[in-house]
Structure 1
């Protein structure tokens, strides 16, 4: 076995984890879905699979293609900024005027649309320019430094993504006791609203 495989995989895992752990729009959404116990497997799967696709593109060297099309990133930034702002306003409304039945019960969260959760997760993932910058450009460039082991580095980054989102989505169920009180849901929605609105405003400010 090549002695550099484990270090390359470990470097990929550490680099990938460092890029996704920070609280962001995607993480806030996964946390909320996990706490609601709603479409958790689908949401975790979408996030991990999307990262795997983008990391693969980055390791394959497609970062140059992304940088060659700045207009594409601008369009994604406008769409993503608008979407995040709208979602943040909806979360703020829930925090200020929580809907009936907001608190969790012993049987789980109030019924909701899994389709809506999936579409929202896809939008939060693919309409965020930072996803492309972090995975395709940054991870891709770091992977290139590992030469023939760049794919091992990429696999390590993919494993980090899967580990993080699975831990966040399924681990959020442990908050069920706390979220049995409507006040805690309002606090969580306030956090989601602040995160989404801040990121949406930042995206629009940089894009316009």
Structure 2
């Protein structure tokens, strides 16, 4: 049981550790200190749903629709290109009075953006339905498989809440428009790099 749980936690945590589109968005909201709890909860619950599906063995469903990865990659790349352009535009305008005062978009818009980052990202399905689901198959007894899945979900919760609330440690260096401009440029570059990677994978 312990081995299964440790494997589940380490596998899930390592897969979501790399800073990607979704993580960069959570980091940005954490710096703004707005809607952090609900955003982290949404991302973690979304992961929990996909991890549960992967461990339960539904990864094979994806194989029934060969065109699905391409459709998801195109939709995800389009969204990332647009969002990256928005961050470059924000950096160009340099108007960060709202950011410096801790304001951001409404909760509804924040969750909608997070939903796009989560559910339009084909790598999410590869990681959860594919890789995590595949690793879980080595734990055949139900109690071990359950321990693996619960630990993997716990990894997602600890990562997102750690990232969202840990971002405030960077707050002291984010007190100027120049810092936010550099951050937005960095986020824009990450978004476009991921979009390029998605398109090249087709």
What TM-score comes out, normalization by structure 2 length? 0.95
Q: 132, 143, 167: which one pairs with 1:139? A: 132
Q: Does the 8 Å CA contact 1:59/1:139 hold for their aligned counterparts?
A: yes
Q: How far did 1:174 drift?
A: 2.0
Q: Report what 1:152 is aligned to.
A: 147
Q: Report what 1:8 is aligned to.
A: 4
Q: How far did 1:7 drift?
A: 1.5
Q: Report what 1:161 is aligned to.
A: 156
1:90 lines up with 2:86 in the alignment: yes
Q: How far did 1:144 drift?
A: 0.8
What is the alpha-carbon distance in structure 2 between the residues aligned to residue 192 and residue 180 of structure 1? 18
> Gaps spanning 5+ residues in structure 1: where?
none
Runs of 4+ in structure 1 deviating by more than 6 angstroms, as ranges, are none
1:56 lines up with 2:52 in the alignment: yes
Q: How far did 1:134 drift?
A: 0.3
What is the alpha-carbon distance in structure 2 between the residues aligned to residue 56 and residue 100 of structure 1? 40
What is the alpha-carbon distance in structure 2 between the residues aligned to residue 8 and residue 200 of structure 1? 34
1:80 lines up with 2:76 in the alignment: yes
What is the alpha-carbon distance in structure 2 between the residues aligned to residue 78 and residue 100 of structure 1? 31
Q: Deviations over 1:115-171 (max 9, x none)?
A: 111100000000000000000110001001111112211111111110000000011
Equivalent residues in 2 for 1:32-47, closer than 5 Å = 32-47=28-43
Q: Does the 8 Å CA contact 1:103/1:180 hold for their aligned counterparts?
A: no
What is the alpha-carbon distance in structure 2 between the residues aligned to residue 7 and residue 180 of structure 1? 44
Aligned length: 200
